[in-house]
Amino acid sequence: DVAAIRRNSQHLASLVDDVLALSEADVGRMQFLKEWVSIAEIAEEARESLGVFFQKKGLRLDIEVAPDLPPVYCDRARIRQVLLNLLSNAGRFTEQGGARVHAELRAGDVMVRIVDTGPGIDPENLRDLFEPFRQADETIRRRYGGTGLGLAISKRIIEAHGGRIWLESKVGAGTTACFTLPIGAPEPAETAK
């Protein structure tokens, strides 16, 4: 009983944290501590966090980061949160195979793709999944869990970093979650004279 109470209270605390993060982002008050960060390090941290979850389901989790990938000026904790959200979704909905994180330089940005071997999503539902509390269909929350906040929060974090995020999928062919981050630090704002 105590373990169930503890697990439920942790879930509730996590839900409250997600709602607060979403609210902060919506009013422009989400705090960022930006520094030069290696995407490879963030990807490895995400693998360490979710490795056991993937192993328990018999799924593989691969990381492929281009060796010449430059560091990115970003908030390490927030970008790790995005990767954890996307990988958690990949692991939650995938029954066989697994997921792969692939990062490379593309058109002056770092592009990160999380490719899974899950059931895929009807393309008509993809855009709505970035709205708070949205899931692909009504049975997902009961079958797989989740609140429908992870993608909404991830979108706000990536956009606040000057990047973009999207999903590519079709039913029966898995899902690819993609996001880009600019490499360079933003130019300092000019002071008014």
Question: Can you give the pLDDT at residue 144?
Answer: 47
**Could you give the CA distance from residue 124 to residue 163 in angstroms, rounded to a whole number?**
23
Beta bridge partners of 60: 98
Question: Can you give the pLDDT at residue 192?
Answer: 40
**Could you give the CA distance from residue 159 to residue 86 in angstroms, rounded to a whole number?**
15
Global pTM reads: 0.77
Q: Is the pLDDT of residue 88 over 80?
A: yes
Radius of gyration of the chain (CA): 17
**Could you give the CA distance from residue 31 to residue 61 in angstroms, rounded to a whole number?**
30
Question: Can you give the pLDDT at residue 14?
Answer: 52
Question: Can you give the pLDDT at residue 190?
Answer: 44
For residue 4, name the pLDDT band (cuts at 50, 70, 90): low
Identify which has the larger pLDDT, 150 or 164.
164
Mean pLDDT score across all residues of the chain: 80
Which residue type does 143 have?
A: R
pLDDT tens-digit series, residues 17-59: 555 555 555 545 667 789 999 999 999 999 998 999 999 999 9
